[in-house]
Amino acid sequence: MKKTTRITAAVLAALSLSVASAATFAQSAYPNKPIRLIVAFPPGGSTDIIARVVGQKLGERLGTQVVIDNRGGAGGTLGTEIAAKANPDGYTLTMGTTSTHVIAPAAYGKLKYDAVKDFEPITLVASTPYLLVVHPGVKANNLKEFIALAKSQPGKLNYASAGTGSTTQLAMEMLKTSAGIDVVHIPYNGNGPAGTATMGGQVQALFGSMPAVLPHAKSGKLRALAVGTAKRSPALPEVPTVAESGFPGFEVSLWMGFFAPKGTPAPILKQLQGELTKIAQSPEMKEQFERNGASPVTNTPAEMNKLIKTELDKYSKVIKTAGIKLE
């Protein structure tokens, strides 16, 4: 007897609890459970670190937990595909980058997601510039001299990249096409090895990502010729841009931003955009980003869509001219 009553009481209690929680579930504002932030790269890369730093702050501001879900593989396309197909309830977000939302769609023959149609862009958070460096032994002190050198010995110079189809390769290929020079591509496995090879003089040049090459440019182990951004970098104010060295309109950088699956409710997107903008612009994050060679950038969903479309155009052309094919 006693036993049954106790069980009944327990069941009743459990039921009322679940009803109560269902009620709060329906009423309470977003978010009421942890948010999953898909990072389409394995832990340790710059995208992962920025995602972790921003995710931590986003969780604090929203009063929930942001769980980083690393789904690395296939140049970031695997995780991005998972994010595209996730439930659009605001509890799955992804950190998209130039690689996942521009280069992969442009370079891969078949891709299982559409960078524009499958996502709701929220805002950019950071962007990393690229810096053209040469080994100090190379007889060129600026971009003009480097191009003259390459023209005087076509096919003799080498440049390193972080891999076939990486932004570091595309940046150099763009420069090659605009300047009409022939420099041989030597692919490495990431920015680090490419930087080491250039420092060791195994290859002569590298259009490297800022965090990887900046310390060496400062110490003199590498010579900086030009930055790929539209404006000069505050970290290296004396180094001119590629654009002002004779190639107007040249701009290459790697951006990182937040995306939600298509169909995520507008109020949630707006809330996230507001919070993320505040986070990215806070002095604390600015400092944190700058340590990682990045700078905070924020914008609106409309601007993001436009950015993706312009960049898709730009990089598709480069990829076609350079004959890069990924499968």
Partner 1 sequence: MKIKSQEDFWSGMMFIGFGLLAMFISRDYPFGSAMRMGPGYFPIVLGGMLILFGVIVTLTAFKFEGPAIEPFAWRPMIFLSVAFAIFGWGMDRLGFVPSMIALIVLCAAAGREFKWVEVIIMTIVLIVGSWALFIYGLDLPYPLYWER
Partner 2 sequence: MEGFEGLAQLFPNLMLGFQTAVTVQNLGYCFAGVFLGTIVGVLPGIGPLAAIAMLLPATFNLPPVGALIMLAGIYYGTQYGGSTTAILVNLPGESASVVTCIDGYQMAKNGRAGPALAIAAVGSFFAGTVCTLIIAVAGPPLAEVALKFGAPEYFSLMVMGLIASAVLAHGSLLKAIAMIFLGLIFGIVGTDVNSGMSRFTFGASGLADGLSFVVVAMGLFGFAEILSNLGKGKDAQHRELLTKKIHGLMPTWHDIKISIGSIMRGTAIGAFFGTLPGAGPTISAFSSYAVEKKMAKDNSMFGKGAIQGVAGPESANNAAAQCAFIPTLTLGIPGSATMALMLGALTIQGIAPGPQVMTQRPDLFWGLIASMWIGNAMLVILNLPLIGLWVKLLQVPYRYLFPAIMVFMAIGVYSVNNLDMDIYLTVFFGLMGYVFVKLKCEPAPLILAFVLGPLMEENLRRALLISRGDPTVFLTRPISAGFLIATALLLFFMILPAVRKKREEVLEEDAAA
For binding to partner 1 (CB under 8 A), which residues are involved?
Answer: 34, 36, 65, 67, 69, 87, 91
Give CA torsion, residues 129, 168, 314, 272, to 10 deg. -50
d(CA 109, CA 277): 34
d(CA 91, CA 76): 20
Least distance in Å: CB of 158 to partner 2?
Answer: 6
* Position among 62, 74, 116, 243 found at the interface with partner 2 (CB under 8 A): 74
x/- site string to partner 2, residues 243 to 282, per CB under 8 A? ----------------------------------------
12 CB neighbour count, 10 Å cutoff:
10
Give CA torsion, residues 140, 143, 148, 150, to 10 deg. 80
29 CB neighbour count, 10 Å cutoff:
10
For residue 21, the 8-state DSSP code is H
CB 280 within 8 A of CB 98: no
x/- site string to partner 2, residues 169 to 208, per CB under 8 A? ---------------x-xxxx--xx-xxx-xx-xx-----
- Which of the listed partners (partner 2, partner 1, none) does 53 bind, with a CB threshold of 5 to 8 Å by partner kind? partner 2
Angle CA(281)–CA(287)–CA(292) in degrees, nearest 5?
110
Q: Which is nearer to partner 2, 74 or 243 (CB)?
A: 74
- Which of the listed partners (partner 1, partner 2, none) does 36 bind, with a CB threshold of 5 to 8 Å by partner kind? partner 1
d(CA 297, CA 127): 6
Q: Which is nearer to partner 2, 96 or 195 (CB)?
A: 195
Least distance in Å: CB of 167 to partner 2?
Answer: 14
Residue type at position 151:
K
How many residues belong to the site for partner 2 (CB under 8 A)? 53
Q: Which is nearer to partner 2, 78 or 116 (CB)?
A: 78
Least distance in Å: CB of 59 to partner 2?
Answer: 9
For residue 88, the 8-state DSSP code is -
d(CA 181, CA 187): 18
| Site for partner 2, rule CB under 8 A | 42-46, 48-49, 52-53, 56, 68-75, 77-78, 81, 112, 158, 163-165, 184, 186-189, 192-193, 195-197, 199-200, 202-203, 212, 215-216, 218-219, 221, 288, 291-292, 324-327
